[in-house]
Structure 1
Amino acid sequence: MPTSSSSSAQAARAAVAARLRELRLEAGLSGVELAQRCGWHKAKCSRIENARTPPSDADIRAWCAACGAERHTEDLIASSRHAESMFVEWQRKQRTGLRRLQDSYLERYRDTTHFRVYSPDIVPGFVQTPAYATALLSSITEFRKIPNDVSAAVAARTRRSQIIHDSHRRFALIVEESVLRYRIGDTEAMTGQLGHLLSIMSLPAVSLGIIPFSASRPMWPLEACYIFDDRLVQVELLTTDVTLRAPTEVATYLRAFDELHKLAVYGEHARNLITSAIAEVSGP
């Protein structure tokens, strides 16, 4: 793995190195003893633990085996493999505008059959209308001070979103009621978006749940996340797009999604929340 100047990637590699060191200490081994068990030069352990040399998959397997910690092997391999791509700064991804960012997800979408999406604040991209997407992406463009290619980006997002009509895939969408209330764009854009949510609820491959303001919350609102099958989670933060592939991290998000699912309402109750929001946006 090549050295990167990205502080986020460095932090990801350092986290892997720190965990390997913890396993060695928990096993009561010195660096020299671990190197002997693995058949390495003694300096190799130090280089790995100090994140100067990224470990290979084989290195991690040997390290975990030497420490009697094989159960951690796959998580550490997943974290190490994706240390460079796990944290990607939005500014770097968006520096040439937003259209290329939309297209960058195409392969990930094509490879997925079961999508789980949770959003606390905006309508998920799958089901955004062009007017809503235009308002949202325009705001992002202005905030980021990046080249304005909003029209092309909206067109790319709209094309990509056609996947939701593929009956061979499944889409489980959960949003907070606040998504219905936050006004993105003008009245026409917002009412059109809410009306679109009503229409997509009839699609056989789509399940739309809404967590009401009135819900008792054993599970707190999370950051927006997209779960692709059971293999990958994309978490969207203000400054960072985080991609998680470690099995235990993916499992944690799957468990959280299940808890959020229990809080959501569906069917007629969800429709009532949407129609109430439309009436509020439309005014008297």
Structure 2
Amino acid sequence: MAIDPDQLDRSGRELAARLRELRVRAGLSGVRLAARCNMSQSKVSRIEGNKSRPSLLDVEQILRALGASAAVAAEVMALARIAQTEWHDSRTLRRKGLDKKQVQLAGLETSSATFRYFLLSMITGLLATPAYVRASLRDAPSEQRSKAVALKLERQRVLFDQSKNFTFLMCEPAVLYPLIPRDELAMQIDHLVSLSRQPNIRIGVIPMGTYLGPGALNTFTVYDESVATAELDLGAIVFRDARDVQDLISRFTRYEEKALFDGDARGRLAEWAESCRSDL
């Protein structure tokens, strides 16, 4: 399904207005609706004011309390599902400050225990050497760059928390993406080999020519089984609907079966690092 960022922005407002309209039409006050749903009146008010994102369960409870018809419920639930998806465009992120994104990611990493990364075209910042991190932010506004680099490197400490488990699947183009000079890229690949020996980190590599199944590929991350992000060069999409998250987990599992791990992965990474050095 094509995702229209403008639609994502509108959906939250439309959902809030639709729920308020249905409550008023049913002749219920916010207090009475809250009591029927076992919610606080302030929560109902925040939902109707588009100041709080309701879960799908919240919306289902409200619709049942309002006695909505099956057709109306289906329409509103479809809107609620879209509202569970957020679009963060790159221009807005830069305007707000790239450090804000790093703080948000650090929060996700602190609150999650299981991480799944599918990397299509670049190495993620958690696995990057300082040279790679600096290069990945070379086009950032100069006044934001130093702080964003520092925060990105600081986030790497989460990898050494043994209570957390990471699986990184990297396609060959991601490993060999020429973001930095070949000698520095060889050291970056050596760094991946080193990290792959940590007991809480699994690094899988997917060589070119590996068939991963039908459908377009994109970089994505799944945090536990509750939140997922998909990255584009123009921004990022955040999914909170359990069905979307489970769909990405299913894709990840399928890709995982195609990847090389442990000694096989380290052997292939060593070959790629050596190819970088032989080009010098």
Distance across 2 between alignment mates of 1:275 and 1:40: 67
Further displaced range: 229-238 or 148-157: 148-157
Q: Does the Cα contact within 8 Å between 1:116 and 1:173 map onto a contact in 2?
A: yes
Q: Indicate how the Cα distance of structure 1 residues 74 and 189 shifts in structure 2: closer, same or farther if over 3 A, else same.
A: farther
Mapped to 2, the partners of 1:88 and 1:233 lie a distance apart of: 13
- TM-score, normalised via structure 2 length: 0.75
CA deviation after TM superposition for structure 1 residue 73, in Å: 8.4
Distance 1:56 1:280, change over 3 A: closer
1:197 aligns with 2:199: no
**What is the one-letter code of the residue matched to 1:238?**
D
Residue 150 of structure 1 aligns with an amino acid whose one-letter code is: R
- Residue 36 of structure 2 is matched in structure 1 by none
| Aligned counterpart for 2:179 among listed residues 181, 184, 201 | 184
Residue 269 of structure 1 aligns to which amino acid in structure 2?
D
Calculate the TM-score normalised by the size of structure 1: 0.74
Q: How does 1:16-165 map to 2 (within 5 A)?
A: 38=26, 57=54, 60-63=60-63, 66-68=68-70, 77=80, 79-80=82-83, 82=84, 86-95=86-95, 97-138=97-138, 140-141=139-140, 146-165=141-160
- Cα distance in 2 for partners of 1:223, 1:12 equals 24
Q: Could you tell me the percent identity over the aligned residues?
A: 19
Paired position in structure 1 for 2:234: 239
The residue that corresponds to 2:34 in the other structure is none
- 1:167 to 2:162 alignment: yes
Correspondence for 1:212 = 207
1:7 aligns with 2:2: no
CA separation of 1:106 and 1:190: change in aligned 2, threshold 3 A? same
Distance 1:210 1:16 in 2: 42
- State how far apart, in whole Å, the 2-side matches of 1:242 and 1:56 are: 16
SS of the residue corresponding to residue 158 of structure 1 reads helix
Shift of 1:210: 0.8
Deviation of 1:95 (Å)? 2.0
Give the distance between the partners of 2:195 and 2:53, measured in 1 at CA. Answer: 45
Could you say what secondary structure the match of 1:171 adopts?
A: strand
2:116–2:167 Cα contact (<8 Å) kept: yes
What is the CA-CA distance between 1:132 and the residue it aligns to?
0.7
Structure 2, gaps ≥5 residues long:
30-47
Against the structure 1 CA distance between its residues 272 and 148, is the aligned structure 2 distance closer, same or farther, given a 3 Å change threshold?
Answer: farther
Q: What is the match of residue 25 of structure 1?
A: none
Distance 1:104 1:235 in 2: 15
Structure 2: distance between partners of 1:14 and 1:221: 30
CA gap of 1:244–1:283, structure 2 versus 1, over 3 A, is same
Q: In 2 relative to 1, CA 127–179 (structure 1 residues): closer, same or farther, beyond 3 Å? A: same
Structure 1 SS opposite 2:131: helix
Q: Number of aligned residue pairs: give it.
A: 248
Bigger Cα displacement from structure 2, 56-65 vs 239-248: 56-65
Question: 1:183 aligns to what SS in structure 2?
Answer: coil
Q: Taking structure 1 as reference, are residues 8 and 192 closer, same or farther at Cα in structure 2, changes over 3 Å only?
A: farther
Name which of 220, 224, 234 aligns with 1:225: 220
Q: Which amino acid aligns with 1:249?
A: D
The question of whether the paired residues in 2 share the 8 Å contact of 1:96 and 1:147 is answered with: no
CA 78–169 in structure 1, closer or farther in 2 if over 3 Å, else same = farther
Question: 1:14 offset after TM fit, Å?
Answer: 7.8
Which is worse superposed, 173-182 or 195-204? 173-182
Does 149-158 or 67-76 show the bigger shift? Answer: 67-76
**Does the 8 A contact of 1:233 with 1:250 survive in 2?**
yes
- Are the counterparts in 2 of residues 93 and 101 from structure 1 also a CA contact under 8 Å? yes
